[in-house]
Amino acid sequence: MKVGAVVLTMGNRPEELRALLDSVAKQDGDPVEAVVVGNGSPLPPLPEGVRTVELPENVGIPAGRNVGIEAFGPGGSDVDVLLFLDDDGLLPGTDTAELCRAAFAADPGLGIISFRIADPDTGVTQRRHVPRLRASDPLRSSRVTTFLGGANAVRTAVFQQVGGLPDDFFYAHEETDLAWRALDAGWMIDYRSDMVLHHPTTAPSRHAVYHRMVARNRVWLARRNLPALLVPVYLGVWLLLTLARRPSKTALRAWFGGFREGWKTPCGPRRPMKWRTVWRLTRLGRPPVI
């Protein structure tokens, strides 16, 4: 099973990027070919053999990763599995690629694997990095309904069947959009606690566009993927959850601005999931209303 890796960078973490690429090169089994996409910035010097793509402008996370996918042929067809890794992450184990090969080979219906993200100094995994509602035990592997964007492996047959990440999302919820389309096509998603990416502990709100993008893209996510009856339920629940978290006035203003933008702007093609997919999501512990 051929494995490739896609790393998206803005060129501002050259030391971390090189360390990540070194950890990819040290993987057991057949070599993992890496593609690094410079998202609107020139790339620093990289190890020999790493393929590069430099984009003239920052096109956002999903569009940048889609460029990396296409660098491996249409829909990533030159390889069987693609790893997507944050440029400031690091694979501490040398067996991650082999674990991925084994997992996909053992389960033909498995489409996506979400890795466990752990702080390199403390070993702590943040609750938000466990892609399920019952997140208190990050060491428990399970079937899930979404995955982590910068720490995952995807069978390239998924992209060839349901398409890539939604370019226009730019940042936030692009993984859930792909996950819902993959689940609707019959694929499964696993969270594997034994496949670890070291990554410094951060807050998602470090991104200046966080609150606006989260709100806008959540509306787009619902409009694109949910049956019409569930769209107001899903968005209503998230509105109440946002208010319950008592964000600052500035954050709340940005959130409501993004929420309005999500309704007023095109969201891309609408392909509502089947009701049996809604039931699958519910049985997996996360009905698509939260």
Q: Select from 177, 202, 94, 190 the least CA-distant residue to 142.
A: 190
Q: Select from 104, 143, 117, 150 the least CA-distant residue to 3.
A: 104
Q: Are residues 21 and 146 in the same domain?
A: yes
Residue at 265 is within a domain? yes
Residue at 290 is within a domain? no
Residue at 289 is within a domain? no
Q: Are residues 74 and 212 in the same domain?
A: no
Picking from 202, 228, 248, the residue at the C-terminal end of a domain is 202
Cα–Cα distance measured from residue 27 to residue 253, given in angstroms and rounded to the nearest whole number: 46
**pLDDT reported for residue 207:** 56
Q: Are residues 266 and 162 in the same domain?
A: no
pTM: 0.96
Q: Are residues 181 and 227 in the same domain?
A: no
| Total tally of structural domains belonging to the chain | 2
**pLDDT reported for residue 238:** 96
Q: Are residues 149 and 253 in the same domain?
A: no
Q: Are residues 151 and 277 in the same domain?
A: no
**pLDDT reported for residue 203:** 76
CATH number of the structural domain spanning residue 158: 3.90.550.10
Picking from 202, 227, 253, the residue at the C-terminal end of a domain is 202
Q: Are residues 160 and 46 in the same domain?
A: yes
Residue at 215 is within a domain? yes
Q: Are residues 117 and 27 in the same domain?
A: yes
Cα–Cα distance measured from residue 145 to residue 187, given in angstroms and rounded to the nearest whole number: 10
**pLDDT reported for residue 202:** 80
Picking from 183, 202, 221, the residue at the C-terminal end of a domain is 202
Give how far Cα 96 sits from Cα of 29, 92, 117, 121, Å: 10, 9, 13, 20
**pLDDT reported for residue 60:** 96
| Domain boundaries, position 232 | 205-283
Cα–Cα distance measured from residue 290 to residue 286, given in angstroms and rounded to the nearest whole number: 7
Q: Are residues 124 and 235 in the same domain?
A: no
Reading the chain (290 residues) residue by residue, the pLDDT tens digits are: 999 999 999 999 999 999 999 999 999 999 999 999 999 999 999 999 999 999 999 999 999 999 999 999 999 999 999 999 999 999 999 999 999 999 999 999 999 999 999 999 999 999 999 999 999 999 999 999 999 999 999 999 999 999 999 999 999 999 999 999 999 999 999 999 999 999 998 877 655 689 999 999 999 999 999 999 999 999 999 999 999 999 999 999 999 999 999 999 999 999 999 999 999 999 999 999 98
Q: Are residues 126 and 242 in the same domain?
A: no
Q: Are residues 184 and 271 in the same domain?
A: no
147's tokens: 């995955």
Q: Are residues 247 and 112 in the same domain?
A: no
